[in-house]
Structures are given as structure tokens and as C-alpha cells.
Amino acid sequence: MSHAQKGPLYLTNTLTRRKEEFIPLRPPHVGLYVCGPTVYSDVHLGNVRTFTTFDLLYRWLRHLGYTVRYVRNITDVGHLVGDVDEGEDKIAKRARLEQLEPMEIVQKYTNGFHDVMRLFNILPPSIEPTATGHLIEQIEMVKRIIDAGYGYEANGSVYFDVPKFAEKHAYGELSGRRIDELQANTRDTEGMDEKRSPLDFAIWKKADPTHLMKWPSPWGEGFPGWHLECSAMSTKYLGQTFDIHGGGMDLKFPHHECEIAQSVAADGHAPVRYWMHGNMLTVNGRKMAKSEGNGFTPEELITGNHKLLEKGYSAMTVRFFMLQCHYASTLDFSNAALQAAEKGLERLMAAMDVLDKLKPAPAPDAAQDEAVKALAQRCHEAMNDDLNSPVLIAELFEGVRLINSANDGKVLLSAAAISGLQELFRAMVFDVLGLKREAQAAADDKALDGLVQVFIQMRAEAKARKDFATSDRIRDQLAAMGIVLKDTKEGTTWQRA
């Protein structure tokens, strides 16, 4: 499908706070960068929402025919506790607690992150670079920032000079902060023996001798500042200016604001044309956080093993639930909403089963051919309207009603209408929304046991009426299928041969 075929794509650019037509720099290529996880602990569901949002964007851009280079990083050094410039590295701290080498922590939680991404059917990015894998690129960028006059060394660390940068450039444009207000309001004294202004941030930090994660640099042994990696890696793989940068809303300031400043300072270009931010997940109206005791993990969600969960919900139920809400809105996580999503997803999948088997009516209603085309167009427009997945899903339920009516013989669909619906549902449900059938295995196991129990009951009844021909026949037929009945004092059980 061509990207020009069905009208333009509009995205809300958080830099301009407007819905804008998306025009890539070098079509059919699109460069997309999304801030990935800091791999020091289990992924929580808020992260899953963010990555689901950008998975939806990635899938939609591909559906439109773009060749997307999707870069999503792994932060494995430089992210300090409290997201500040002083204190312990989050990964080093966890390594100390778990008595492991920092890179063992990185591997463990990277593997865990990938498992969760796979569980939620979130596609892997084209490139998944790590901060430790790009130290040279970061050191080179620090040099360029210093050379441009916006970085200064102090005691083996290098800081970005925010007030000096703000004299000539917009600082705070993305987050809507004003430099004078920031200066008036700051009570931040960390690193003030080294920093010229409390607004300055570290782009290279000196490491003390006990630090495990450190590398040689022109300023001595140290490690990169947290904000730097994304600038260095997006520049390396997507160029000095690229199409779309995404992340969770909490990263707007200071992280993304600093990314802009770093790129402008080092290379003289605004790095990103379209900024996109996903909104937060709340639980029963309260912010999800570990400290609140409501930040359950994907595993707890699936098993239902958490005090706030009435039952377990499948990964696809949760994905569907998330996509029923627009990415820019907050989403509240409640049992009632999850259970409604579970039912909705079942209805959608059941309709797709019906659709697979639907036969054309002998005398189809030609008007329905147009109705199916119009439905497909509305689905497309919903996604082109800033990825409006809730509207897309509502349109798909219009389709569900049509499918069920056709199955009941109340609507007469032609072969063309049926194949149009099949193409639409496959594309939108599987490719774009990224939903998939699941848990069939568990369901089959239950069904199998149910059937065997019916045989066991029939056999007992046949025995009771002394119809041994029938009871033996049932036993033999099951045995032929590898199901062995065993009569015990407690009744008849079965097992596989």
C-alpha cells in the first residue's frame, strides 16, 4: 500500500503542540528513535505502554509502505539514581545489591526486557544500541560541545553550560520551560562546587577509583552523562537531523530538552523534526509506582498474583486494553476495564474465526461492497489521525457486527466484500494493532480433558447396564488414540500412553 494512497498522516508534534502532517526527510525512509529502558530492574507496565505506543507507530509507518530505521537504545551506564548528576549509577547499585558484575545485571535485565517485549508482541527495533557500546561516539560528541564553547571541564568532569547555550538558542522549547523561571526556582546544589550554574548538566563524569564502570577519556577515567548517549547514538544511526523521536512523557524534561541542546551545540542542528510522547499509566486513578505498591510486573498481571488484581489477564488482553486508549491520554488500569477488554478481544477474535469461514451469499447485496470499502477507509483515517487506535477499534467492531450479521444470514455479502473484510481485519488486527491468537494450547488441554471425561462417564453407564461391548469399545478406541484409561478405587483416570 502506498503512503500517498489514502491521505496524509498527521501526528501530534509535542515540540509545536500541534497535529502536523508527517513529511519524512528522505521518503520512503523514516528515521525513528525511541528512548529504551535502563536495564537495572524488571520492566513495569508503564514501560510496556510506552513501547506499545511506539510499536503501534512503527507498525503503522511500515503499513503505509515506509522503510523505517527504528532505533531503540538500552541504557547500560550513566543513569544515576534519582536521574541526577551526583550519586550512584543505577546499574552499579543493583550490581552491588545482587553481588554481580554490572554487566551481568545489564544482561539479566536486558534478557528480561526482551522476554516482556516478546510477550506483548512488540516488534524488535532495527537497531538496539547500548550506551557502553558507543563510548567513543559520546567522547567525540563531548569534544565537539567543548569546541563549540558550550562545555567546560571541572575536576575531571565535563558539564554543559546551559545559561551560555540559552543566550543564543532556545532552551526549554520542548518542555515549555523558561530559562529565567528555571533559574529563579532552582534550589539544586548538587555538584555546585564544579557546576557554574545549577542548570548545567554533566555530559562526562569523573569516576572515583572504586567505580567499576569507567573508561579512559581526554578528561581522565569516567563515564558518560545520561543524556548524552541518545544524542550520540541517534546521530550515528539516523543522522544529525532525523524524523521522529519518541519516549515517555516523563522524559521530556530534562532528558529530551538536554538532547536537543547537546545536538544543537555539537552539530548546529535541531536533531528532531517530530517529537512524540506517550502518556502515563495510572492504577485505580493513582500514578503507578513501586513505592505506591501498585507497580505490578507483567508476570504478576498474567498470573493475577497481586493484591490489586482480581484475576490474571493475558498479555494480548492488556495490549488490547492499552490500544483502546489514545497514546496521548492517561490510561487508568482497573479490573473492570481489563475484564471489559478481555470480553472485547474475545468478541473480535471470534468474529475473525467466523470471517475465515464465511461463504459468499448466492445473491449478495452490492451496497455492502461499498460499505466494506468505506469501513476500510475509516479505519485507515483513524490511524492517520495521530494513531487513533481507539477509533480504529470502534470501527473494527462495526465490522464485527457486519460479520456476525452475515453469518446469521441477515446481511448478504459478496466474495469481494468478504475478502475485503478479511484483508482489512488481518492487516489492522494482526499487523497494525499487533494482536495475536494466544492460549489455544491451554484451551485445547481443557477441552481434551472434558471430552475424555464424557467418554469415562459413558463407559461407566455402559458398564452399569452390563453393556460390556460398548464399555470395551470406548476403552479400545481411546487407547488407539494414545489415551489410556485406568480404573482405580477413586474412579477412572486417564493418561497419555
- Applying CB under 8 A, which residues contact a second copy? 69, 100-101, 103-104, 106-108, 111, 114, 124-130, 132-133, 135-136, 140, 215-216, 237, 350, 353, 357, 440-441, 443-445, 447-448, 450-452, 454-455, 477-478, 481-483, 495-497
Quick one: 195 or 205, whose CB is closer to a second copy? 205
Grid coordinates representing 352?
Answer: 475473525
Neighbours of 145 (CB within 10 A): 28
- Is the CB of residue 191 less than 8 Å from the CB of residue 105? no
In 3D space, the residue among 58, 8, 63, 7 whose CA is nearest the CA of residue 32 turns out to be 58
Quick one: 4 or 484, whose CB is closer to a second copy? 484
Q: Which residues contact 375 (CB under 8 A, 6 or more apart)?
A: 395, 398, 399, 402, 421, 424
Q: How far is the CB of 103 from a second copy (least distance, A)?
A: 5
Q: How far is the CA of 298 from the CAs of 57, 104, 250, 309, 370, in angstroms?
A: 22, 22, 21, 12, 42
Neighbours of 471 (CB within 10 A): 19
- Is the CB of residue 400 less than 8 Å from the CB of residue 394? no
- Is the CB of residue 58 less than 8 Å from the CB of residue 123? yes
Q: How far is the CB of 438 from a second copy (least distance, A)?
A: 11
Residue 316 φ/ψ region, left for φ over 0, alpha for ψ in the -120 to 50 degree band, beta for the rest? alpha
Q: How far is the CB of 284 from a second copy (least distance, A)?
A: 33
In 3D space, the residue among 193, 217, 197 whose CA is nearest the CA of residue 205 turns out to be 217
Quick one: 69 or 195, whose CB is closer to a second copy? 69
Q: How far is the CB of 489 from a second copy (least distance, A)?
A: 12
Q: Is the dihedral of CA 233, 117, 288, 79 positive or negative?
A: negative
Q: What angle do CA 195, 129, 98 make, to 5 degrees?
A: 75
Q: How far is the CB of 162 from a second copy (least distance, A)?
A: 28
Q: How far is the CB of 458 from a second copy (least distance, A)?
A: 8
Would you give the DSSP letter of residue 446?
H
Say how far apart CA 397 and CA 392 lie, in whole Å: 9
- Residues for the chain: how many in total? 497
Quick one: 15 or 30, whose CB is closer to a second copy? 30
Say how far apart CA 77 and CA 224 lie, in whole Å: 8
Say how far apart CA 226 and CA 256 lie, in whole Å: 11
Quick one: 114 or 177, whose CB is closer to a second copy? 114
The identity of residue 448, as a single letter, is: L
Q: How far is the CB of 94 from a second copy (least distance, A)?
A: 15
Q: How far is the CB of 136 from a second copy (least distance, A)?
A: 5
Q: How far is the CB of 124 from a second copy (least distance, A)?
A: 5
Q: How far is the CB of 213 from a second copy (least distance, A)?
A: 11
Say how far apart CA 394 and CA 382 lie, in whole Å: 10
Q: How far is the CB of 45 from a second copy (least distance, A)?
A: 24
Quick one: 132 or 197, whose CB is closer to a second copy? 132
Say how far apart CA 209 and CA 215 lie, in whole Å: 11
Q: How far is the CB of 93 from a second copy (least distance, A)?
A: 18
Q: Is the dihedral of CA 287, 291, 293, 297 positive or negative?
A: positive
Quick one: 380 or 475, whose CB is closer to a second copy? 475
Quick one: 8 or 218, whose CB is closer to a second copy? 218
Q: How far is the CB of 38 from a second copy (least distance, A)?
A: 16
Quick one: 292 or 445, whose CB is closer to a second copy? 445
Say how far apart CA 46 and CA 43 lie, in whole Å: 8
Quick one: 221 or 381, whose CB is closer to a second copy? 221
Neighbours of 329 (CB within 10 A): 11
Quick one: 204 or 237, whose CB is closer to a second copy? 237
Say how far apart CA 332 and CA 353 lie, in whole Å: 30
Instruction: Report cis status (omega within 30 of 0) of the bond before 254.
Output: yes
Residue with cell 520492566: 43
Quick one: 363 or 497, whose CB is closer to a second copy? 497
Quick one: 98 or 370, whose CB is closer to a second copy? 98
